[in-house]
Amino acid sequence: MHFAALQSVDPEIARLVQQEEVRQDQCIRLIPSENYVSRAVMEATGTVLTNKYSEGYPGRRYYEGQQVIDQIETLAIQRAKALFGMEHVNVQPYSGSPANQAVYLALLKPGETVMGLSLPFGGHLTHGWKVNFSGMTYRAIQYEVDPVTHRVDLDRVRELALKERPKLIFTGGTAYPCLWDFGGFAQIAKEIGAVLVADIAHISGLVVGGAHPSPAGHVSIVTTTTHKTLRGPRGGMILSTAEHAQALDRAVFPGLQGGPHNHTTAGIAVALKEAAQVEFKTYAHQIVKNAKALANELLARGFRLISGGTENHLILIDTTVAAGERPSINGKPAAKALDRAGLECNYNTIPFDPRKPFDPSGVRIGTPSVTSRGMKEDEMKKIADWMHRALVHVGDEAQLARLRAEVIEVCEAFPPPGIRI
Ligand SMILES: *Cc1c(COP(=O)(O)O)cnc(C)c1O
């Protein structure tokens, strides 16, 4: 990209932005919550819309001069409604965590009970984890995954729900490689009169593209980020039935936030338009095909995968299991060695991890970014091979540098959206 003004005003920041651009171009980015936005999305976010204050909602603002902003926000809302099939949409949450916070504010009083998937088992901080506002302010009950299948066991969830009577139940996670049974959760929520929330932050692109079942029709509230598989700018959305519309809107503004980030709203509108094209369906399905292909290649190399594989975009690997010449290694040094080789991922706890979250037993990888740059099953095989070799040669800088060179060569052939296309 060209940053003529930035270059002249602040060459230091311009140089760093350019370095990050090169890094994102020349790395195999496997962090499942990340992606490459299109040039159109990036252009929309870098506009004069950042200059405008718009507290309130379209047609009901506290500042004048909303002739244009109202149209932009309305377009974003209409596109989201059509894509996700929900009655009401709020596109103002600054990100996924504030979106969830607004749901709590709208529906729970401090001390009331919420239930969600426990963080070390793949859940998100905002689903009741103890160091997060959700766990500090509310009575949080956490479900886990089955020790053998690593899937959420609905019988266990139901037992817990009947015993603890949560008012709010969250589905969704950040490190869960299986499909969510929204219908099954809906029955449990109905039985105890709880409100069911689907936090589809990770999978919203898959849902829209038809590569994961949709929560619409099963849940009253959906929250999502806009920057993961959905491939928009960093932001959040809350979608709901008409019943919760007013409470949720009030919780976002004035409950939690002031002015919405209009430049982000425009970027979200563009991303939603892109997500309505047939190419997006192909992309969403290819993400899952790639993840399955990568999982199979890893299994063939003796890797232990949580749940035995994947049904979505992400894979959780227990790196402590040795195989052949590949030694047992903890998640953190594994992630560092992979990064040296140009394969970017994050260390992660695995279910029933005997190790601490800051030095856990696994790494988490995913295929949204590599799919956005056009990689397919053949490249997944290469990635599995690189991962294996990097972990065989942990600490051998010469070998890791050789892998790094191979990675750069393959990256060269797959121009990432927003950077080279
Ligand atoms: C990423 C994520 C969030 C939070 O999103 P931020 O934009 O990082 O605040 C919330 N819930 C789930 C399930 C997520 O994966």
Q: Are residues 248 and 332 in the same domain?
A: no
Query: Measured in whole angstroms, how far is the alpha carbon of residue 338 from the centre of its chain?
Result: 21
- Looking at the chain, the whole-number percentage of residues with pLDDT higher than 90 is 99
CA distance 61 to 288: 42
Q: Are residues 340 and 301 in the same domain?
A: yes
CA of 97 to the centre of ligand 1 (A): 6
Q: Are residues 113 and 253 in the same domain?
A: yes
CA of 171 to the centre of ligand 1 (A): 13
Q: Are residues 305 and 399 in the same domain?
A: yes
Quick check: is 221 in a domain? yes
Structure tokens at 3: 């940053």
Residues with CB under 6 A from ligand 1: 33, 95-97, 100, 124, 126, 172-174, 199, 201-202, 225
Compute how many other C-beta atoms are within 10 angstroms of the C-beta atom of residue 354: 8
User: Contact 207/153 with Cβ under 8 angstroms?
Assistant: no
Mutate to test the pocket of ligand 1, among 34, 117, 199, 256 (most ligand atoms within 8 A of CB): 199
Residue whose C-alpha is closest to residue 196's, from 225, 230, 161, 228: 161
- Looking at the chain, the whole-number percentage of residues with pLDDT higher than 70 is 100
Residue 102 parent element (H or E): helix 96-107
Q: Are residues 121 and 186 in the same domain?
A: yes
User: Contact 216/96 with Cβ under 8 angstroms?
Assistant: no
CA of 85 to the centre of ligand 1 (A): 21
Quick check: is 22 in a domain? no
The alpha-helical segments, DSSP class H, found in 259-414 are: 262-275, 278-300, 331-340, 368-372, 377-392, 397-412
- How many C-alpha atoms does 153 have within 13 Å on its Cβ side? 11
- In this prediction, residues 102-113 reach a mean pLDDT of 98
For the domain that residue 345 is a member of, what is the CATH number?
A: 3.90.1150.10
Last residue of a domain, one of 221, 241, 275: 275
Where does residue 225 fall: left (phi above 0), alpha (psi -120 to 50 degrees), or beta otherwise? beta
For the domain that residue 148 is a member of, what is the CATH number?
A: 3.40.640.10
Q: Are residues 246 and 307 in the same domain?
A: no
CA distance 278 to 270: 15
User: Contact 263/46 with Cβ under 8 angstroms?
Assistant: yes
Last residue of a domain, one of 275, 296, 312: 275
Q: What is the pLDDT of residues 245-280, one digit of tens each?
A: 999 999 999 999 999 999 999 999 999 999 999 999
Ligand 1 atom nearest 100 alpha carbon: 10
Helices and strands (DSSP H and E) totals, the chain = 16, 15
Q: Are residues 320 and 354 in the same domain?
A: yes
Number of domains in the chain: 2
* Nearest-5° Cα angle at 96, 93 to 333: 150
Q: What is the pLDDT of residues 181-191, one digit of tens each?
A: 999 999 999 99
pLDDT of 28: 98
Long-range Cβ contacts of 318-325 (<8 Å, 24+ apart): 318/350, 318/361, 318/362, 319/361, 319/362, 319/363, 319/391, 320/361, 320/362, 325/392
Q: Is pLDDT above 80 for 239? A: yes
**Is 234 an annotated catalytic residue?**
yes
Q: How far apart are the first and last CA of the chain?
A: 10
CA of 385 to the centre of ligand 1 (A): 30
Length of the chain: 421
Beta-ladder partners of 362: 318, 348
E strands within 150-194?
168-171
Quick check: is 25 in a domain? no
pTM over 0.85: yes
Query: Measured in whole angstroms, how far is the alpha carbon of residue 292 from the centre of its chain?
Result: 18
Quick check: is 23 in a domain? no
CA distance 147 to 118: 14
Quick check: is 88 in a domain? yes
The residue nearest atom 5 of ligand 1, judged by CA position, is 96
**Is 199 an annotated catalytic residue?**
yes
Quick check: is 288 in a domain? yes
CA distance 213 to 190: 20
Q: Are residues 205 and 290 in the same domain?
A: no
The residue nearest atom 8 of ligand 1, judged by CA position, is 96
CA distance 286 to 254: 40
CA of 287 to the centre of ligand 1 (A): 19
Cis before 254? omega within 30:
yes
Structure tokens at 208: 């829209």
Catalytic residue among 52, 234, 273, 336: 234
Q: Which domain holds residue 80?
A: 42-275
Ligand 1 atom nearest 236 alpha carbon: 7
Catalytic residue among 43, 55, 146, 164: 55
Quick check: is 26 in a domain? no
Q: Are residues 306 and 345 in the same domain?
A: yes
User: Contact 172/182 with Cβ under 8 angstroms?
Assistant: no
pLDDT of 357: 87
Quick check: is 6 in a domain? no
Q: What is the pLDDT of residues 201-224, one digit of tens each?
A: 999 999 999 999 999 999 999 999
CA of 202 to the centre of ligand 1 (A): 7
- How many C-alpha atoms does 387 have within 13 Å on its Cβ side? 31
Catalytic residue among 39, 52, 53, 70: 53
Q: Are residues 203 and 334 in the same domain?
A: no
Mutate to test the pocket of ligand 1, among 97, 229, 312 (most ligand atoms within 8 A of CB): 97
Residue whose C-alpha is closest to residue 325's, from 271, 379, 389, 265: 389
Q: Are residues 103 and 173 in the same domain?
A: yes
Mutate to test the pocket of ligand 1, among 124, 227, 228, 229 (most ligand atoms within 8 A of CB): 124
Last residue of a domain, one of 229, 249, 275: 275
Q: Are residues 196 and 333 in the same domain?
A: no
**Is 225 an annotated catalytic residue?**
yes
Q: How much is the mean pLDDT over the chain?
A: 98
Structure tokens at 66: 């909303």
Question: Residue 331's pLDDT band (boundaries 50, 70, 90)?
Answer: very high
Q: Is pLDDT above 90 for 2? A: no
